[in-house]
Structure formats: C-alpha cells, structure tokens
Amino acid sequence: MSRRREPVPFAFLAEADRFRSNVTPPPHERPSLGRLAGRALLGLTIVAGLVGSLVIGTPALSTDTDAGTSQSQASDGR
C-alpha cells in the first residue's frame, strides 16, 4: 500500500495565535454599592478572624519563663 504525501493545511493553527478579532467585548459593569460593601465586609471578617486567632494563639505558643524555676517536689530527689 502506498501512501500519498499531501501537505496538510494546518497553517491556520499557526495563524490562530496572531488572530485578533474586530469585535470588542462589552464594557464591564461597575459593581453596585451593596456589592462593594459586601466585599469590604467579607475582607474585614477574614482579617479580623486571622488577627483574633493570632491573639488567642500567641499565649499558647509562648514558653513560660517561670516554669524552669518552679519545680515539683518529685524532681528534687527527696
């Protein structure tokens, strides 16, 4: 069986990257005041949650400096 070697017209794929449409997309709608307020409130809630968890979690992560001086009687060897 012999195969015919014909050029395949894939030149349109190379031109697809350079193609620019003359149709302009519709303009973006400006968000309403309620939507802007909702986004601000959501952002504020997320930031407040992160700050609150940091404030609450910081004492748990700190090492006690007094723990080294106050030892139990069992560790004294008595």
Q: What is the mean pLDDT of residues 2-30?
A: 68
pLDDT of residue 23: 81
pLDDT of residue 59: 85
> What is the rounded distance in angstroms from the CA atom of residue 48 to the CA atom of residue 55?
10
> What is the rounded distance in angstroms from the CA atom of residue 1 to the CA atom of residue 3?
7
28-49 pLDDT tens trace: 899 999 999 999 999 999 999 9
pLDDT of residue 61: 81
> What is the rounded distance in angstroms from the CA atom of residue 39 to the CA atom of residue 32?
11
> What is the rounded distance in angstroms from the CA atom of residue 56 to the CA atom of residue 59?
7
